[in-house]
Amino acid sequence: MKEVKVSIHPVEIKSLKYNNAMTIKPGESMRLQMKTSTAVKLNPSVPTAALAMVKFEAVDETKNIQFEVETLTAVMAEPAVEKLDELIKAHYMGSILMAVNEKVRAAALMLGLTLAPPAIGFNYQDDNESIDAEIFRSM
């Protein structure tokens, strides 16, 4: 099995859209709906490179506040890997989303919004560190 080195470059904001036609009065509650869309685009001319693209949207129920951030993250793999897009989605998208959340939070603060992007779930499976592992059963 070959060893592959994956490099994730810093997240860059591709576009930022913000619309605030707020008519709400102080003290009234406001509900924001947040949605994140992800995609990985491969570069056919450079098989070791890909772009992880994330689009974050937050819209309130009355469509008075609309906030949208599109980001790009360059990912490089050395040597070339088959199905690089699937590798990125399976193993690195969670880390990329954490960095995107920080960019979203910074952009929102700059505009005066207080947003808490949704939590990111990571899959982890290692029988050696499980409570059912032999080391824990012998205690």
Q: What pLDDT was estimated at residue 132?
A: 61
Tens-place pLDDT, residues 24-57: 677 777 788 899 999 999 988 998 999 999 999 9
Give dist(CA 2, CA 106) in Å, integer: 39
pLDDT score recorded for residue 5: 92
Q: What is the pLDDT of residue 139?
A: 53
Task: Assign 70 a pLDDT band (cuts: 50, 70, 90).
Answer: very high
Whether the Cβ atoms of residue 18 and residue 66 lie closer than 8 Å to each other: yes
Q: In whole angstroms, what is the distance from residue 74 CA to residue 53 CA?
A: 9
Number of other CB atoms surrounding residue 81 within 10 Å: 17
What number is the average pLDDT over the span 60-86? 90
pLDDT attached to residue 117: 77
Tell me the mean pLDDT in the region 77-86: 89
Mean pLDDT over the full length of the chain: 85
Whole-angstrom distance, CA of residue 94 vs CA of residue 89: 8
Per-residue confidence (pLDDT) for residue 114, from 0 to 100: 79
At residue 134, the pLDDT reads 60
